[in-house]
Amino acid sequence: MDADGSVSDESGRRRRVHGMLKLYYGLNEEGKTPEQPQSLDPCDINGPHFDPELYLNKLRRECSLSELMDHETCMVKQIRSLDSDMQTLVYENYNKFISATDTIRKMKNDFKKMEDEMDCLSANMAAITDFSASISGTLQDQHAQITKLSGVHTLLRKLQFLFELPARLNKCLELQAYAQAVSSHRRARCVLQQYSHLPSFKGIQDDCNAIMEKLAQELRQKFRDGGTSAKDLSECVELLLQLDEPAEELCDKFLSHAGSRLELDLQGLEAEIKPYPPTPAPKEAATRRSSSSTAVGSPSDNNSPKTLSLPSPTPNTDILEFIDRGCNEFVSSLCLVITSYQELFVNHAQTGELASKNIPQMANGKLQAFVDDLAARYFSLVERRIQEEKGVGDNSLLVRALDRFHRRLQAVAKLLPGSAVPTRGTEIVVRAATERVKQYLSALQSFYMDSLTDVRQALATPRLSVAGGGTHLGGPAAGRDAPSSLPELLSSLSASILNQIKSVLASVHLFTAKDITFSNKPYFKGEFCSQGVRENLVVNFIRFVCQSSRQFCESAGDKGGSTPPALLLLLSRLCLDFETSTISYILTLTDEQFLVQHQNPITPVTTLCGEAREAAQKLLNHYVKVQGLIISQMLRKSVETRDWVNTIEPRNVRAVMKRVVEDTTSIDVQVGLLYEEGVRKAHSSDSSKRTFSVYSSSRQQPRYAASYTPSAPMDTNLLSNIHKLFSERIDIFSSVEFNKVSVMTGIIKISLKTFLECVRLRTFGRYGLQQIQVDCHYLQMYLWRFVSDENLVHFLLDEIVGSSAHRCLDPSPMEQSVIEVICERG
């Protein structure tokens, strides 16, 4: 530790010494003088203008004696320290000074020796110059003769080459050294053409032309040979161009030869595609659609979500294998043809006469037309094969195939920048994605309609329990896991629809995956997400659900049509759930998954919710009308088929009234399974013990009942009509609210109004009137608890009894106590 401390102290001292020296000489850390203005103060001891006399006078004036003594002591210490440091630096650098002195002495000796060598070299160069001048003077006379002999020798070699050229060309032809033959002929062609007027040269030229024509024929044959490799083909074309073969004709032959090969690839692809099927007749098409729809599972068969399954043709290879074959064979071959063609005719450096013919521009135009024609045929085959992909179970295979198709076409774009092939390929991908969305929409619509068919079967075959949750009377068609109540059917249907939409969105989302090359295209980032998926798929399906549900309200006949009322009730609740939550959830999910940009006009959520609520309202109103007409039909038949004039004295309540109460109770339970109770008005304590006189409510005053005379009906009829003018009007077919009380009120209003109108068309005897009294009292005992306002039931029943009294030949009412006994016994 002591050694380390001493070393650090020594190094610190040296740094301080160097710093003081630098400060003394005015140097910075890099050893350079800083560019600062020099101090002009004569009292600055470190400045260049320091004046000792002024400095001492200033100290004597400003400092006391003790301060002067201290200042002197400090200055002495600094001087001694600097002297010590200076000696230390000298001692430390002594060896360097000695070495520098030796080096300078050695350099003086070396330079002296070098000067001697340079003088010797200069003398040698002078001797060489004199010797060279002597040789040149000696050979000056023979130089012209040597030059002349060299020219004659060169000419003789050329003549020898010309005379041996036919034999040389034949030899090259035998050895198939076509490039060497063409090169030799090109070297001699200009000379032979220049001296063709001489008989000897004319003969050589004719022989050479005949040989080169034969060689050209062999090159053309080799060019037309189907087994020629790309390298041989390139060599043939280059040699034929050098032999003045027309470039346009060579381009056509090259493209024709390449086209025949590519044609085989296209024929192989076409063999894997099924031929266009004949257009089926409308009846056959309908049968096929119905058979395909029955193949889909139902929510009543299993509570688990169903999967879409549409029949699709089964070609020999799947779409990915087909695209792979097309890319590996046709597209790869096409790229090879483009590369070879461009090397031969477009990018090949043309020299001499070929450079003036503008071959690249002509060749490029022919190549563009050739590629566009073949690509159009290839795209047609690809689109035909894509159209065969009707099944929507697994979308990944199609997306991968389209991605590979699009990716491989980019090679054509790089080789042929001006080609429209990549753009047309992208259009095919866009059309395929759009068609896929349409298929998914059609599949969702079929799925929904099949689900409704299954719900109808579940409603028709197993009898739903009254309590809505326990046992049910099931036939042989009832599945073990079939839903046993309307809430379960609704939950199963809603869950299956929602799960199916999620599954479809997941499949369609593959088109926009990050690893898919065409997903970065503007279409798939914008229009495909907003218009293709959101509007054309999700929004259209939601509207289809609402429209198809509303259609059940348009096929009603006298008895409410063939649609089960329970289905109308279930669909109304389904549409209401769509309006409250499902639509918002589905559209939010779609916007999040596909990053929908709301730049294009899209359907607002509120609009769809309004359509769903409208459909729910229409379905619920129609349900009320259908159920009211069913009960009304029973009441109408019970009134029209009875002889009310000659009937016997009533002893009990008619069976049809009991049936009406039972059906109303069943409807009340059914509606209560899907809708809330609703708000009722306060009930009076004697609601079930209301009494009815033979006159309407306006004539229940004792004075009218006690003084009944033949002329009284005229007076009371007038009072009844006056009372109706001021009473509250009852709207029988008004819209109902989404609760059980409102629905039951609408059904009972329709039923009792029908009962009233039927009574007004009949004539009653004494006992017929009394039977009406008993029936109305029985209805009052039970129906008041189903409606929102019991006064409405009392008013209508009072009107029925009053109308019966008006139509009665002998209006003798039954005692109230007797009526109560009969009703309680019934």
pLDDT by residue (tens digit) across 62-108? 888 888 898 889 989 989 998 888 888 888 788 888 888 888 888 87
CB atoms within 10 A of CB 45: 11
DSSP 473: B
Q: Which two tokens stand for residue 37?
A: 């203005």
Beta bridge partners of residue 463, listed in sequence order: 473
Confidence at 498, pLDDT banded by 50, 70, 90: very high
DSSP 222: H
For the chain, percent helix, then strand, then coil, each to nearest 5?
75, 0, 25
Nearest to 750 by CA among 614, 633, 668, 617: 633
What are the residues whose beta carbons fall under 8 Å from the beta carbon of 126, sequence distance 6 or more? none
Can you give the pLDDT at residue 229?
Answer: 63
Residue type, 530: S
**Residue 825 class from Cβ within 10 Å (0-12 exposed, 13-18 middle, 19+ buried)?**
exposed
C-alpha–C-alpha distance, residues 354 and 624, integer Å: 92
pTM here? 0.64
C-alpha–C-alpha distance, residues 565 and 122, integer Å: 128
What are the residues whose beta carbons fall under 8 Å from the beta carbon of 773, sequence distance 6 or more? 692, 694, 801, 804, 813, 814, 819
**Residue 623 class from Cβ within 10 Å (0-12 exposed, 13-18 middle, 19+ buried)?**
buried
Would you mind telling me the total number of residues written for the chain in this entry?
826
Helix (H) or strand (E) segment spanning residue 627: helix 605-640
- pLDDT tens digits along 510-559: 888 888 888 777 777 778 888 888 888 999 999 999 999 888 887 644 44
Q: Where are the domains of the chain?
A: 65-173, 438-459+485-625, 642-677+718-825
Can you give the pLDDT at residue 442?
Answer: 92
Residue showing tokens 């109305």: 776
C-alpha–C-alpha distance, residues 771 and 759, integer Å: 12
Question: What's the whole-number mean pLDDT along residues 217-237?
Answer: 69
Q: Which two tokens stand for residue 310?
A: 């549409």
Confidence at 182, pLDDT banded by 50, 70, 90: confident
Residue showing tokens 């279930």: 570
Nearest to 237 by CA among 259, 222, 226: 222
Contact 258, 265 (CB under 8 A): no
DSSP 788: S
Confidence at 703, pLDDT banded by 50, 70, 90: very low
Q: Which two tokens stand for residue 800?
A: 């029925």
Lowest mean pLDDT among 6-10, 149-153, 773-777: 6-10
C-alpha–C-alpha distance, residues 189 and 187, integer Å: 6
Can you give the pLDDT at residue 35?
Answer: 54
Residue showing tokens 């190094």: 11
Nearest to 468 by CA among 482, 491, 488: 488
Contact 803, 759 (CB under 8 A): yes
Can you give the pLDDT at residue 570?
Answer: 92
Confidence at 707, pLDDT banded by 50, 70, 90: very low
Can you give the pLDDT at residue 697?
Answer: 38
749: left (phi over 0), alpha (psi -120 to 50) or beta: alpha
Q: Which residue has the higher pLDDT, 732 or 713?
A: 732
- Secondary structure of residue 808 in the 3-state scheme: strand
CA distances from 471 to 41, 368, 482, 662 (A): 117, 76, 12, 19
* Side-chain half-sphere exposure of 169, counting CA atoms within 13 A: 27
CB atoms within 10 A of CB 577: 17
Residue type, 149: L
Nearest to 756 by CA among 788, 792, 726, 787: 792
Lowest mean pLDDT among 348-357, 669-678, 710-719: 710-719
Q: Which two tokens stand for residue 395?
A: 């979308």
CB atoms within 10 A of CB 531: 19
What are the residues whose beta carbons fall under 8 Å from the beta carbon of 354, sequence distance 6 or more? 241, 247
Question: In this prediction, what percent of the chain has a pLDDT beyond 70?
Answer: 76
Average pLDDT of the chain is: 77
Beta bridge partners of residue 40, listed in sequence order: none
C-alpha–C-alpha distance, residues 364 and 370, integer Å: 10
Can you give the pLDDT at residue 34?
Answer: 54
807 pLDDT more than 50? yes
- Secondary structure of residue 682 in the 3-state scheme: coil
Question: What's the whole-number mean pLDDT along residues 151-159?
Answer: 76
DSSP 393: S
578 pLDDT more than 70? yes
Can you give the pLDDT at residue 607?
Answer: 92
Contact 781, 688 (CB under 8 A): yes
Q: Which residue has the higher pLDDT, 804 or 162?
A: 804
C-alpha–C-alpha distance, residues 92 and 10, integer Å: 14
C-alpha–C-alpha distance, residues 183 and 189, integer Å: 10
Residue showing tokens 């083909």: 233
Q: Which two tokens stand for residue 173?
A: 């032809």
Lowest mean pLDDT among 118-122, 138-142, 652-656: 138-142
Contact 412, 334 (CB under 8 A): yes
Question: What's the whole-number mean pLDDT along residues 460-468?
Answer: 52
- Secondary structure of residue 463 in the 3-state scheme: strand
Can you give the pLDDT at residue 441?
Answer: 92
* Rg value, the chain, Cα: 57
Question: In this prediction, what percent of the chain has a pLDDT beyond 90?
Answer: 13
C-alpha–C-alpha distance, residues 127 and 161, integer Å: 47
